[in-house]
Structure 1
Amino acid sequence: MASPILPGTGLGSGLDTGAIVKALVNADKAAKQSQIDRGTASNTASISGIGTLKSLMSAFNQAMKDLGSKTNPQFPGYAATSSDTKILGATASNSAVNGSYAVKVGNLATASKVTSAAFAGGTTSSITAGTLSIKQGSSTYNLEVKPGATLQSVRDSINADSSMKGAGISANIITDSFGSRLVLGSTTTGAGSDISVSGISELTIDGSTVVGASGGPVMTATSAGSIGALAIDAKFSIDGMELTSKSNTVDKAVSGLTLNLVATGTSTVTVASNNDGLKASIQKFVDAYNALANGITALTKASLDDEGKPTVAAALTGDALPRSILQAMRGPLSESGAGDKLTVLAQLGITTDQKTGALNFDSTKFTAAMNDKRLGGEVQQMFLGDDGADNGLLARMQKSLAVYSDTGGVLDQRTTNLNITKKKLSLDQEALDRRIATLTDVLTKKYNDMDTLVGKLKATASNITSMFEALTAQQKG
Structure 2
Amino acid sequence: MASPILPGTGLGSGLDTGAIVKALVNADKAAKQGQIDRGTATNTASISGIGTLKSLMAAFNKAMKDLGSTTTPQFPGFAATSSDVKIVGVTANNSAVNGNYVVKVDNLATSSKVTSAAFAGGTTSPITADTLIITQGTSTYNLDIKPGATLQSVRDSINADTSLKGAGISANIVTDSFGSRLVLGSTTTGAGSDISVGSVSGSSELTIDGSTVVGESGGPAMTPTSAGSIGAVAIDAKFSIDGMALTSKSNTVDKAVSGLTLNLVATGTSTVTVASNNDGLKASIQKFVDAYNALANGITALTKPSLDDDGNLTVAAALTGDALPRSILSAIRGPLAETGAGDKLTVLAQLGITTDQKTGALSFDSSKFTSAMNDKKLGGEVQKMFVGDAGSNNGLLARMTKVIAPFTDAGGVLEQRTTSLNKTKTKLTNDQGALDRRIETLTAVLTKKYNDMDTLVGKLKATASNITSMFEAITAQQRNS
**TM-score, normalised relative to structure 2:** 0.96
Is 1:335 the equivalent of 2:329?
Answer: no
Further displaced range: 467-476 or 256-265: 467-476
1:237 aligns with 240
Contact conserved, 1:48 with 1:315, CA < 8 A, in 2? yes
Alignment of 1:328-407 (within 5 A): 328-407=331-410
Alignment of 1:145-224 (within 5 A): 145-199=145-199, 201-214=204-217, 216-224=219-227
Counting aligned pairs with the same residue, the percent is 85
Is 1:29 the equivalent of 2:32?
Answer: no
Offset at 1:7?
Answer: 7.1
**Per-residue deviation, residues 10-49 of structure 1 (Å, max 9, x unmatched):** 2221222121111111111111111111111111111111
Is 1:459 the equivalent of 2:462?
Answer: yes
Is 1:251 the equivalent of 2:268?
Answer: no
Contact conserved, 1:213 with 1:229, CA < 8 A, in 2? no
**Per-residue deviation, residues 409-444 of structure 1 (Å, max 9, x unmatched):** 111111111111111111111111111111111111
Offset at 1:348?
Answer: 0.1
1: distance between equivalents of 2:320 and 2:218? 82
AA at the equivalent of 1:266 = T
1: distance between equivalents of 2:463 and 2:119? 119
2: distance between equivalents of 1:7 and 1:117? 103
Name stretches of at least 5 consecutive residues in structure 1 with no aligned partner.
1-5
Q: How many residues align?
A: 472
RMSD: 1.3
1:3 aligns with none
AA at the equivalent of 2:437 = R
Query: Against the structure 1 CA distance between its residues 18 and 101, is the aligned structure 2 distance closer, same or farther, given a 3 Å change threshold?
Result: same
**Per-residue deviation, residues 147-172 of structure 1 (Å, max 9, x unmatched):** 22222222112112221111111111
AA at the equivalent of 1:450 = M
Query: Against the structure 1 CA distance between its residues 43 and 7, is the aligned structure 2 distance closer, same or farther, given a 3 Å change threshold?
Result: closer
**Per-residue deviation, residues 195-216 of structure 1 (Å, max 9, x unmatched):** 1111161111111111113263
Local SS of the residue matching 1:90? strand
Contact conserved, 2:7 with 2:19, CA < 8 A, in 1? no
Contact conserved, 1:118 with 1:181, CA < 8 A, in 2? yes
Local SS of the residue matching 1:252? coil
Query: Against the structure 1 CA distance between its residues 169 and 466, is the aligned structure 2 distance closer, same or farther, given a 3 Å change threshold?
Result: same
AA at the equivalent of 1:145 = I
Query: Against the structure 1 CA distance between its residues 74 and 437, is the aligned structure 2 distance closer, same or farther, given a 3 Å change threshold?
Result: same
2: distance between equivalents of 1:141 and 1:7? 96
AA at the equivalent of 1:254 = V
Contact conserved, 2:189 with 2:234, CA < 8 A, in 1? yes
Offset at 1:83?
Answer: 0.6
Offset at 1:276?
Answer: 0.2
1:280 aligns with 283
Local SS of the residue matching 1:54? helix
1:131 aligns with 131
Contact conserved, 2:218 with 2:231, CA < 8 A, in 1? no
Is 1:427 the equivalent of 2:430?
Answer: yes
Contact conserved, 2:130 with 2:204, CA < 8 A, in 1? no
Local SS of the residue matching 2:313? coil
Contact conserved, 2:7 with 2:18, CA < 8 A, in 1? no
AA at the equivalent of 1:16 = D
1:79 aligns with 79
2: distance between equivalents of 1:250 and 1:116? 33
Name stretches of at least 5 consecutive residues in structure 2 with no aligned partner.
1-5
Is 1:266 the equivalent of 2:269?
Answer: yes
Local SS of the residue matching 1:105? strand
2: distance between equivalents of 1:10 and 1:130? 108
Local SS of the residue matching 2:205? helix
1: distance between equivalents of 2:227 and 2:469? 132
Local SS of the residue matching 1:253? coil
**TM-score, normalised relative to structure 1:** 0.97
Offset at 1:133?
Answer: 1.6
Further displaced range: 191-200 or 251-260: 191-200
2:3 aligns with none
Offset at 1:52?
Answer: 0.8
Is 1:225 the equivalent of 2:220?
Answer: no
Is 1:437 the equivalent of 2:410?
Answer: no
